[in-house]
Every structure is written in C-alpha cells, then in structure tokens.
Structure 1
C-alpha cells in the first residue's frame, strides 16, 4: 500500500519543526511507519543546496535564483527520498514543500505563481502532498518566537522585514482557500498538544 505524503507549512516561528516531530510520534504510535524530512534538504544533494540558500546576506540570491535552487533541491529530494519512501508504504512528513516556494519566492518575491508551478512540474514531476497543513500564528508572534530560538543566527528568510512575512502569511491563506481539500489552516497559537490533536483530526480521512 502506498504511503501518504504530508507537508507542514507556515511562516517563521510557527512551530513546524516541533509539530513535524509530534505528528510523526503520534502516527508511529498508531503503527504507521513514518519518515521525517525537510525542505530545502532531505537528500544529500538537497542538503548541499540548503547551505547555499540559507546562509549569507538577504540579498545573496534574487527571487528567481532562489526559485531555481529550491526547485533543484526539491527535484533531488523527491527522487531520492520522498517517492521511494511513499512507494514502500511509509508516510513522509515534510517541513515545507512547494507551497513555501509559491509563498516566499512567488507572492512575497514577485514571481508569477504559474511559473513556479511549471518549474515544479518539470523538476519534481508535479508531486503534491496528500495533505498540507498551514500553521498560523500572528506575524509578530512568530518573529518573536524565531528570534528567541535563533538569536543572531537568523537565516536569510527569517531576517526579512514585516511586510515580506505578512505577504507570505496572506499567500498561505489564499492557497488554503483555493485548495481546501488539500490545504488546511491550523491555529498554531494554541498549546502544542492542541495543535498536534488538530493535525491528527485533519488526517482522519487518510488514516488506515
């Protein structure tokens, strides 16, 4: 039986990494094999590209260059890890996927959404998650969480201004409105256990 592919999306400090681990543990507790991964990254080639993308000055790459690098990393990630895992019956939970490219390089970076979708169709064969959860927190709350977590070590994306992150948040809400069957909004300002419970409730129709 084919595994399921789940992605968690959201702005900075939304708690994606925490909830990826919590959701994986909850599914494993139900006897479901799970592989946790992240973007950019997940495969050897994609992790090498991650270092290029996340480090350096905010202006190191243009949105177009970022989009190409993310697409290259994602193509390798899908081919080397995601497709083999779901083909073997494992559930894959990914911290970010293509909807982040659409929000960050697209809506906030100025690249046409259709161009990013076409790039994804070529690089990753158009693979989409079976379910995508967008963890929502107010932008300022998320930035405060991220600053408390990272301090002076903020990456190129966390370091961007309020307007950029507000555009990202608005984009995720728009995608959820456009694709309600795939993309679900989750109130991530609630306590951790409540967020995990909401994620599990959002998978009821996919659980064996």
Structure 2
C-alpha cells in the first residue's frame, strides 16, 4: 500500500503554495492521509542546503554546482521524508521537485541536459511523481505576483526571483517542453485565472489521472491497495 506522489511546478508567482494547500484540504476532508512538503528542503539537511542556495551563496560556483546541491538536498528529502510517507500510504504533495532542476539549472542555466538526466537517474531512480501539475502564466504576471507576495511578507528577492526577464521566459518554455515530452505524467494548468478556477482545473486533473483520490471518504483507499 503506497501513497500517490504529486508535484507542483511553475515559475515565480504561479500560486503553487495556495493550490497545494487547497488540494491538501480537499483530500483531508475525504479522509485521505496527506503530507505537504517542498524543495529544496523538506528534511533537516535539505533545509540547510535550501538556505545556502536561495541566499545566492552557491551562484558563484555556477549552475551545475547549484544543480548538484539541489540533488543532494533531494536525495535526503527522498530518504527522510518522501519515501517513508509513501510507504505508509500517505499521499505526498510537493512544492517543486526534479522538474525544477531541469528547468532552472538545465534550460535556463544552460547545464547540459545529459548531465541533469544522469544525476536524476541516480538520485530519483523509480521515485518519479505519479502526477505533475505545471502552473503556467505569463512571466510578467508571475513576477508581479511574486513581488506583491514578498512585500506582504517583508521578504527580499531570492536567488532566482532576481534573475532577468529572459531567464524567466526560458524557464516558462522549459516547463511547457517538459509537459509536452511527458504528457502521461504532466498536466499544464492555466494559472492566470482566479484561485477558485485554478483549483477546479487541478481537481479535474486529479480526478482524471488519479481517480482513487476522488472517491468519497468512506471509500477512500491509498494507491496500490
């Protein structure tokens, strides 16, 4: 009996955190066991690496070094958090996963795709997401949203939000390319709408791709039961 592994991807300001929380609430109301986590982070050692990466301290070492640090964090995250939860029958909702490395450091950071894929095969192995929801919206809208969020939280610009417009345009296209190359796993969600409309599209995708998660609470059962 294993849980489903669902990842949320997208550029800055796409609304991933909001939609992850909404899906968690919906599934919890149905009696499902759900864990929300994030990358980089999600385990004590991975959170330490997150602080180092998002502060920009790794940037001088180049995009490939950053990618290796992301995968180091991902390895600990998988070992300490994701795999144990899935094995208990808990569904895992993760804010970013390996597609972010492919998009940010691969396509936008110009790291050779073969290098990224090689490291991913070793670290991720068979622990690929059952479903990846890619929240897509125009870059200018996303960056504006991210700016409003930062101001509200009193936060500064992190390592990746501070990149130029061309970086974020490449990032958006990279995500769309990933979705096109893996249509059985990925669903592109139009995030340039109200949170309620985005939530409805996400729930439709979950019902379509992972019907066991759409059952009533009395019938709820984990993936693999």
TM-score over 0.5 (shorter chain): yes
Q: 8 Å contact 2:11–2:142 — kept in the other structure?
A: yes
Q: 8 Å contact 1:3–1:92 — kept in the other structure?
A: yes
Structure 1 counterpart of 2:171, from 162, 165, 168: 168
Residues 10-68 of structure 1, C-alpha deviations (whole Å, 9 max, x = no match): 00000011111111111111211100000000001100100100013684441011000
Going from structure 1 to structure 2, the CA distance change for 1:88 and 1:58 (only over 3 Å counts) comes to: closer
Going from structure 1 to structure 2, the CA distance change for 1:93 and 1:179 (only over 3 Å counts) comes to: same
1:136 and 1:24 map into 2 onto residues whose CA distance is 20
Query: Which residue in the other structure is 2:194 paired with?
Result: 191
Q: 8 Å contact 2:58–2:65 — kept in the other structure?
A: no
Aligned-residue offset at 1:124: 2.8
Structure 1 counterpart of 2:206, from 195, 199, 203: 203
Structure 2 counterpart of 1:178, from 176, 181, 185: 181
**Structure 1 portions without partners, runs of 5+:** none
Q: 8 Å contact 2:134–2:189 — kept in the other structure?
A: yes
Report 1:105-184 matches (<5 A).
105-151=105-151, 153-184=156-187
1:85 and 1:197 map into 2 onto residues whose CA distance is 26
Q: 8 Å contact 2:137–2:190 — kept in the other structure?
A: yes
3-state DSSP of counterpart to 1:148? helix
Aligned-residue offset at 1:123: 2.0
3-state DSSP of counterpart to 1:195? helix
Q: TM-score, normalised on structure 1? A: 0.96
Q: 8 Å contact 2:53–2:59 — kept in the other structure?
A: no
Residues 91-147 of structure 1, C-alpha deviations (whole Å, 9 max, x = no match): 000000000000000000011222112101212335210000100110000000011
2:59 and 2:45 map into 1 onto residues whose CA distance is 23
Q: 8 Å contact 1:79–1:124 — kept in the other structure?
A: no
Q: 8 Å contact 2:59–2:66 — kept in the other structure?
A: no
Indicate whether 1:43 and 2:40 are aligned.
no
3-state DSSP of counterpart to 1:9? strand
2:58 and 2:46 map into 1 onto residues whose CA distance is 20
2:39 and 2:146 map into 1 onto residues whose CA distance is 17
Total equivalences in the alignment: 208
3-state DSSP of counterpart to 1:202? helix
Q: TM-score, normalised on structure 2? A: 0.89
**Structure 2 portions without partners, runs of 5+:** 213-225
Going from structure 1 to structure 2, the CA distance change for 1:58 and 1:75 (only over 3 Å counts) comes to: closer
> Relative to structure 2, which stretch is displaced further, 157-166 or 55-64?
55-64
Q: 8 Å contact 1:58–1:156 — kept in the other structure?
A: no
Root-mean-square deviation over aligned CA pairs: 1.3
Aligned-residue offset at 1:160: 0.3
